[in-house]
Amino acid sequence: MADIYMDNNATTKVDPLVVEAMLPYFTEQFGNASSMHSFGDRVGKAIKEARARVQHLLGAAHESEIVFTSCGTESDSTAILSALKALPERREIITTVVEHPAILSLCDYLEKQLGDDGYVVHRLRVDEKGRLDLKEYRKKLSEKTAIVSAMWANNETGTIFPVEEMAELAKGVGAQFHTDAVQAVGKLPINLKDTAIDMLSLSGHKLHAPKGVGVLYLRRGTRFRPLLRGGHQERGRRAGTENSASIVGLGKAAELAMEHMVFENTCVKAMRDRLEKGILAAVPNCFVTGDPDHRLPNTANIAFEYIEGEGILLLLNKEGIAASSGSACTSGSLEPSHVMKAMSIPYTAAHGTVRFSLSRYNTMDEVDRVIAAVPPIMAHLRSLSPYWNEDGPVAAEEAFAPRYA
């Protein structure tokens, strides 16, 4: 029986049509797009076509607003560091406590490395559903703010943030607005030309393109300073010989994402909902995390009480099922993820969160196989726990110490 892959928020299968589009650019179409001869010209035209396809997917107003990068992390760093250099008189950054480490690690660095004369980072809190408080956001915004960076959708829970409204508010104080849309692009309709968003990051391997290619959307007229300097590639905004094969692949993936957008929001969502309903009906003491009304159509993050997520994943893997845990093992001590902590998920459940993230390659048959596999795994793991018996939990949360703040 074939294995089941439900870890698409980590990475996706490269679409066979994407591979087919890329192959010529490893062999006969190997020219450097910057070269004057026909070999380079043909590759340059292919990159131009890929740029137009990404522009269409993002609803950008101009093809020139699409800057190809190596990944979402590079795009994130470029956006934040550019804003700080372009607006040197402004020393404050606003982000959220549930951002991807690509954002949080950079903000931590900027805050700690520069001491008293460095940057002030405001991290917006979330509620128990992972939702932002826009009142807190309005209070933090000021003419000292250089950039606001808020993810379009959370990678663990799928919760969607009101980034379009947040961008308008940032514009009101003259700050730049960036969104890490790595999880949202290809799953949600996006029309950037009708927003005040200045910069957006995406990563190819999240939408069935290869790893090692990404995009920074840069609104025309936005004050910008490049991270990588050297050649004239990407209109001087990102130096380095273009990764032409992967750029062509990303362009094809963008085209396919537009074609499958309705499927993502109907059929994939239906599979996600069936998975959640089936597991919640069969397993006691578990619940779905995140905003039930505003989240990605493919993401189900389920918290199982009195179990460690790593144990669940190991047994799921034995059954040929790939998923992810919301907790991480660091230096031998298990800690819930920063997202679960920020949402104040009970300590008894925060350790046992599992993220199932689906794609258009999943099927209802696979969903039913996962629903059948999960209950015996949970029953087995709970049978090994001193905090659980056949009647349910036998210890209060206080037994799980130390608790996180």
Which residues are part of the catalytic machinery? 329
Enter the DSSP assignment of 181: -
Rg (CA), the chain: 22
The Cα–Cα gap between 99 and 227 comes to 21
Judged by DSSP in three states, 136 sits in helix
Identify which of 264, 267, 295, 227 has the alpha carbon closest to the alpha carbon of residue 57: 264
The Cα–Cα gap between 296 and 292 comes to 10
Enter the DSSP assignment of 188: B
- Characterize the bridge pairing of strands 214-218 and 66-69: antiparallel
Element (H, E) at 176: strand 176-180
Number of Cβ atoms within 10 Å of the Cβ of 242: 22
Identify which of 319, 315, 307 has the alpha carbon closest to the alpha carbon of residue 369: 319
Q: Phi-psi region for residue 331, left (φ > 0), alpha (ψ -120 to 50) or beta? A: left
Q: Are 124 and 140 in contact (CB under 8 A)?
A: yes
